[in-house]
A and B are shown apart, each in its own frame.
Chain A
Amino acid sequence: MSTEVQPPAGFEARLDVPTVLAKQTLSAVRDGDILVVTMDSEPANEIGLQSLADLEALLEYTAMHPPRAMVFASARPNAFSAGADLRELHRELERHLGTGGDMAHAQREVRVFLDRIHGVMNALDQAPFTTIAAISGVCMGGGFELALACDLRVADKSARFAFPELRLGLVPGWGGTARLARETSPALLRDLLLTGRTLGAPRAYEVGLIQSPVARGEATRVAIAMARQTARFSPDAVAATKRLTKPLQVAELEAEKDAFVALFAKPTVREALARFANSTDIRPYL
């Protein structure tokens, strides 16, 4: 993470925008009713235990000081987020099993993590203000799920979306299957899951996954402009719009967690995590 919090694109000229949150993996600046959150952890904003705690802290802040619109951006040049921190997951699993723990207990630990991350995703999904993801570079797995929990997605031409979980013998576990089907279609969901393919921004726009395709480097600026526009509207009308258009798919989300935890116990998942963690392959996603 950068040692100094920098204002995100669109705020450069403003020297009076206060930083309201500075955590290890993210920071947030506030300009009146607009909150801009910038994720910044190397190499590609992977989400692990620290990021989860920081996201929880962010939601504690927004619960106490709700903005009218919130933008999620990234300080990493090539990524919105590459998703779950698989190296941490591999390390924790091997440490657990190496010190006499059994897989059933590991599954319970995974369930605890999933419950916490679902708490974050659901709170974002149902927040009574507008949430916008500003996406450039890779947006995969858990990072994609974070973007899907937002109301709107702005992506530049470098953005690529994917659910690579099946390469590990898993399914998305942070609400991605339920939310992608809600936001677009089950057919697109199956295409992404069953082929593991990546999707570029133009195609993502065609299928309604993103709402605004922009030139490279412009995602955060456009997302902030979008946030300023939506912040002009009545908060009650915004909240009502979200209630009417974003039902929380409780049963589907629980089913996804169950499927993830069940698959996690398979020996092939442990092997795949080890391969990923030790990989020097230049093309792990291809």
Chain B
Amino acid sequence: MPAPATLVNRLLDLAAQHYGRPRETLTPDADLFKSLGIDSFQALDLLSRLEEAFSCEIPDYELQGVTTFAGLAEIIARRA
């Protein structure tokens, strides 16, 4: 089940803000690691920021195979 558009947009806003990317360059189907250009430690920091912003816990094993913002939003929707 796809995540609500509002959740996807909030996720894209948060990613653009924290990692200094122009919001318009981030799209739901973009590869989130490539488009943010973040390393493994920054990826873990992103996880902490997402948990804080969406008030949910996201165990790493839920993220296996997740590469896009839309995919990540779907996981968050199921957890939040």
Binding site for B on A (CB under 8 A): 44, 78-79, 137-138, 157-160, 195-198, 200-203, 281-286
Contacts and interface: CB of A to CB of B under 8 A. Distances in A.
B24 interface: no
Contacts of B44: 137-138, 160, 198, 285
B63 to A, nearest CB: 6
Contact of B60 (A198, A202, A203, A281): A198
Interface of B: 33, 38-45, 47-48, 51-52, 57, 59-61, 63-64
3 closest Cβ contacts across the A-B interface? A78-B41, A197-B59, A197-B60
Given A283-B40, A285-B60, A286-B43, 5 more contacts: A78-B45, A198-B47, A198-B60, A285-B43, A286-B64
Contacts of A158: 45, 48
A279 B63 CA distance: 19
A79 B45 CA distance: 10
29 contacts: A44-B41, A78-B42, A137-B44, A138-B44, A157-B48, A158-B48, A160-B44, A160-B45, A160-B47, A196-B60, A197-B59, A198-B44, A198-B60, A200-B47, A200-B48, A200-B52, A200-B57, A202-B51, A203-B57, A281-B40, A282-B38, A282-B39, A282-B40, A283-B33, A284-B40, A286-B40, A286-B43, A286-B60, A286-B64
A160 B64 contact: no
A203 B58 CA distance: 11
A97 B17 CA distance: 49
Contacts of A284: 40
Nearest to B45: A158
A227 B61 CA distance: 37
A266 to B, nearest CB: 23
Nearest to A78: B41
Nearest to B66: A286
A286 B61 CA distance: 7
B59 A195 contact: yes
A281 B33 CA distance: 11
A44 B59 CA distance: 22
Contacts of A79: 41
Which residue, of B39, B40, B63, has the highest number of chain A Cβ atoms within 10 A? B40
Given A44-B41, A78-B42, A282-B38, A201 B57 contact: no
B52 A202 contact: yes
Contacts of B48: 157-160, 200-201
Contacts of B52: 157, 200, 202
